Structure 1
Amino acid sequence: MKKINKPLFTGIILILIYTRFNNPGAITLTLGKFFSFFSVFIYGGIIAFLLNPILKFFEKNKKINRKSSILILYFSLFLLLGLFFSFIIPRLIGNISDLIENYPKYISVFENSVAKYRHLLPFLKDVNLLNELLLLQQKTLIFLKQEFSFLVGQFLGVTAKIVSLIFSLIFSIFFLGNKEYFHTLAKEILDTFLSKKLSGEIKSLSHKIERVFLGYLSGKTLDSLIIGGIAMVGLTIMHIPYVILLGIFITVFNFVPYLGPFIGIVLGATIALFTNPGNTLIVIIFLALLQQFDAWVLEPKILGTSLNLSMFWAIAAVTLGGSVWGALGIIIAIPSFALIKELYLAKSKKKAHKIVE
């Protein structure tokens, strides 16, 4: 059997890309049917891929055997999922509902506070601040209601697929328990159908993807959860409401480099300004110090070596990823661009080496 070589593989990819843009329905329909049929295996593989570093930690560092490690890992996972759906989700929905209900009252309190100090801000004399705030209120309420309905719909959609999730988790257990077998099987398939050179390049690429993606995602997730947790505790002590909502926002936006921490501070300050104005400055200082602690102490300790993306490329990656895949795109954009940069540098160095020779 003739194996697929690199030019043929490249040609197939280019044909697929051309077909995707020229006749998007053809590939979308085919891939949709493929993912629908194999979804539990695919999701199971993704779950196993993400949990594998933790399994390695239990086996190598804690010297726990495979079966016990998997038992501890999945017991912890189900416990966290149970806490999330029974504790976090209901309170998050309650925070959003309460914020929508009390928003007019917060606007009124803010207007009264501004009226007291209007004489100190001359530029506000010619501005009908109440009308501007009411207009902002209407737009914000519409946005919150739309997002709230979307979140509820997504939540119900997830719960409707709970059986699929359970089967995916079961398959992930099989993948992790027999990961050496599946790893060997994948290598045999590549060696059987692809040329030796192409097979080697795909194996090398898979190792880089595992190192870059798992290293970044696992480290950044732990870092963001710690920062979000500290923020929730601190805001609770300062008697700022909606700490669940703020904690989730701060955790998610912590994935966004440079701009994310600033957005978290703005959100926290805005909620404090409307609900507890006296603590607004303290909230800003607390969140700013927390982000500095994250940038200089916690993140370097957890992530270790940086992905070495400049501010321009980091923001470009997040913008592009968010516009294409939403929240998921924001999370995977940074490691994706870092991987592309690493592949480009490796290719350019290889070409430079050939020219020197």
Structure 2
Amino acid sequence: MKKINYKLINTLLVIIIIFLIWLMKDLWLGVLTKIIDILLPFILAFAIGYVLHPLLKKMVKRGIPKTLALVIIGGTVVLFISFILWLLIPNILPLIFEQTTSLFSSLIKFVQDLSTKHDVNLVGVKDAISEVSTQITSSLGKGISDGFISIINQSLGIITKLIIIIIVAIYFLSDMERIRDEFEKFLASRKNKKTLRYFRKLDEAIHNYVNAFALYALIIFIQYTTVFYLIGHPHYLLLGLLSAIGTIIPYFGGIVTNLIAIITASVISPKLLVLSIIVSLIFPQIDGYFTSPKIYNKSNQIPTILSIFAVFAGGALAGAKGIILALPITIILLTTYRFYRSEITSSIGKITKISKE
């Protein structure tokens, strides 16, 4: 009688389970999406409280009462979010519409001047540009109109969510010290000192990333605001803010800002267009090959090629959210690997040895 091959049976069972999960993906993905939608405001609130906790500790150490420090931090967060919304929502969509319209008007005028100067019949070209201009500006106008209506319809829900997130974040921030102490006591009670050291190392790595990101965003904001102001761009503050926000997406976040800068400059003056193109070509190289690696490599020692791969992988797997979360997740995985390197290497060696047998 032949022996039962349990390894083969286990492998088949795993394949069947994976296949069943794949068949039911629409069901569990829908449930998972609902759960994430419910938990997301609380996750964001906890993340904000966790990130701001070192700032609260510094303020308390300097003699500021904890309650007053919480009020100052909460007020600053509200003012910062209000400033961003005030600067972006009323300006960016009308700005794109206005500058696109001006750009096509300039193109039509250029074709007319060229036709008159060189006695060339370019009526067909002018009509084609006019038709494209009408289609694009109509689409933009409808988009802006629909966008504002959508903003009005959704504003109550968005404001409610923001208020909930900020309030819960302040509660988390207020209790963060106790939460951390309870978590450390739980790990200590399990008598696993290495796990406790791992979470402390992970905590240090995450805060290093947050500090590096804040420093990098501040540098980018000051740099681009100053540069666009010096070359005479009228929207220097908006471009500086967009550049700082774009640092959320490593290496590629500034592309949209540079395109906006070039498009808006193209309808103002040729000199400003040339200067904007120079800025858009030179400064991203400085940021990508000097400023960003200098800050992030020093704080978390992330290889540049790994960061770029993480961004592409995050975008392929989860779109915009994946791109934003790519670097933090990479830092967590890299820190985990470095801390448990010997155990991981040993486990891989054992698996390889068993498979050969």
TM (normalized to structure 2)? Answer: 0.69
Identity of aligned residues (%): 21
Q: Tell me, what secondary structure is at the counterpart of 2:89?
A: helix
Q: Deviations over 1:266-320 (max 9, x none)?
A: 5533432343212223223445554466568765776571544444332221122
Give 1:162-177 correspondences, 5 Å limit.
162-177=159-174
Q: Tell me, what secondary structure is at the counterpart of 1:275?
A: coil
Structure 2 residue identity aligned to 1:104: F
- Which piece of structure 1 moves more, 30-39 or 216-225? 30-39
Match of 2:77 in 1: 77
CA RMSD of aligned residues (A): 4.6
CA contact (8 A) 1:41 1:168 kept: yes
Q: 2:265 aligns with which of 249, 254, 272?
A: 272
CA distance in structure 2 between the partners assigned to 1:42 and 1:259 by the alignment: 26
Unpaired stretches in structure 2, ≥5 consecutive residues: 1-14, 119-124, 350-357
Match of 1:6 in 2: none
- CA change 1:50–1:306 in 2 (3 A) is closer
Q: Deviations over 1:293-350 (max 9, x none)?
A: 6568765776571544444332221122234444443232123223323333444344
CA contact (8 A) 1:109 1:274 kept: no
Deviation at 1:48, TM superposition (A): 0.8
- CA change 1:137–1:103 in 2 (3 A) is farther
Q: Deviations over 1:114-155 (max 9, x none)?
A: 999x9xxxxxxxxx8996997699679858976995697478
Unpaired stretches in structure 1, ≥5 consecutive residues: 1-13, 119-127
The alignment of Structure 1 onto Structure 2 pairs a total of residues equal to 330
CA contact (8 A) 1:19 1:26 kept: no
CA contact (8 A) 1:19 1:27 kept: no
TM (normalized to structure 1)? Answer: 0.69
Higher relative contact order (CA 8 A, sep 6+): 1
CA distance in structure 2 between the partners assigned to 1:320 and 1:147 by the alignment: 32
Give 1:119-268 correspondences, 5 Å limit.
153=150, 157=154, 159-187=156-184, 201=195, 206-243=199-236, 246-261=239-254, 264-265=257-258, 267-268=260-261
- CA change 1:251–1:181 in 2 (3 A) is closer
CA distance in structure 1 between the partners assigned to 2:20 and 2:237 by the alignment: 45
* Residue 321 (str. 1) matches residue 322 (str. 2): no
- Which piece of structure 1 moves more, 219-228 or 16-25? 16-25
CA contact (8 A) 2:225 2:240 kept: yes
CA distance in structure 2 between the partners assigned to 1:235 and 1:164 by the alignment: 35
Match of 2:47 in 1: 46
Larger radius of gyration: 2
CA distance in structure 2 between the partners assigned to 1:222 and 1:318 by the alignment: 20
